[in-house]
Amino acid sequence: MEDLDIVYEIYNKIFCNIQHGNIDLFLCGAASTKEKTSYRDIIRSKLEDNTNLSILYPEDMFMEMLNRKKYDLLTLEKFLANNSDVILIVCESPGSFTELGAFVNNSETLEKVVVLLQTKYKNAKSFIRQGPVEYVRMKNKNNIIYFNNNIDEAVEKIKKYLRNRFWYLGYKRKEPKLKDLNLISGQYYFIILLLYFYQELNVKNLVTVLKNLYKKKYDIEEFDIIYSSAIKRLFKEGLIKKEDSNGKVIKYKLTEKGYGFANLLLSYVSLENRTRIIDKIRLKIIYSQYY
């Protein structure tokens, strides 16, 4: 992977021309127990077949950041705000009430907060209902979704909300829809493309080329946490696998599922002679590897 020109070509000609918009939805709520599956986990299972929707749990990202002592709560909330389109909070546990209070009190996350609350609490005279829930309602009444015990009803209401809010994703536009490399989703998609074209990549080389691209437009300070979050997500969704040597990860490859997703992604490339351009990039890579 010596030739950075090929990487730049993949970025400029392929990545920047993908007409596939995605919604990054951070889903907050209770964790499941042996006795009970949480509403949050049920909702995730019913929404995750939507190819325009990326569902993430904040703790998956936050644990990574909390392990790095330089990050405080304010930084974590800002990071979440930057990397999400919607923060959906399922009010079903003390922890989810705490998250609601924290995100409502932060101006950067408030606009993205959507509250899912059981109808029986709609007029409850409680601090949660009359405090943070009411504050969200006053900002935008559509950001409060009420549901009865029927979780399928709740899921349909969430889908309707997302369709109404992100209606423009169904239309072709001249500008790219994909998020750039300064966000988790951007690196997630670009890594998939790189592994598709190169088939396998040395981890050190992958980090080097991503950093080279990243620092052309963005401050390098947040690169590590964005990259590690993207890699973690790719593994969690079963799109990449690793090759170890003496207990050390040396290469990443796409799984069969990953190749299927890469092909779907490439079908969204809005270019004349798309197939020819993709084939030319492949040939350049083969040539660079053997000559």
Give the model confidence (pLDDT) of 235-282 as tens digits: 989 999 998 877 777 899 999 999 999 999 999 888 889 999 999 999
Query: Poorest-confidence range of 14-23, 64-73, 87-96, 276-285?
Result: 64-73
Residues 1-60 have pLDDT tens digits of 557 899 999 999 999 998 877 899 999 988 898 999 999 999 999 998 887 888 988 777
pLDDT of residue 244: 81
Same domain as 230, residue 93: no
Average confidence (pLDDT) over 86-100: 86
In DSSP terms, 245 is beta-bridged to 248
The strand pair at 240-245 and 248-254 is best described as: antiparallel
Question: At 97, is the pLDDT very low, low, confident or very high (cuts 50, 70, 90)?
Answer: confident
Same domain as 154, residue 27: yes
Residues 99-151 have pLDDT tens digits of 888 888 888 888 899 999 888 777 767 666 777 888 788 888 999 999 888 89
* Residue 285, number of CB atoms within 10 A of its CB: 18
Domain hosting residue 268, numbered range: 4-18+175-290
- What is the number of domains present in the chain? 2
Q: Which residues of 198-216 are buried (b: 16+ CB within 10 A; e: fewer)?
A: beebeeeebbebbeebbee
Same domain as 32, residue 127: yes
Same domain as 216, residue 182: yes
Domain final residue pick, 170, 199, 229: 170
**C-alpha span between 203 and 75 (Å, rounded):** 27
Residues 209-237 have pLDDT tens digits of 999 999 999 999 889 989 998 999 999 89
pTM (2 d.p.): 0.85
Whether pLDDT at 198 is above 70: yes
**C-alpha span between 71 and 156 (Å, rounded):** 37
Same domain as 248, residue 165: no
CATH of the domain at 42: 3.40.50.2300
**C-alpha span between 289 and 2 (Å, rounded):** 9
Domain final residue pick, 170, 185, 205: 170
Domain final residue pick, 109, 136, 170: 170
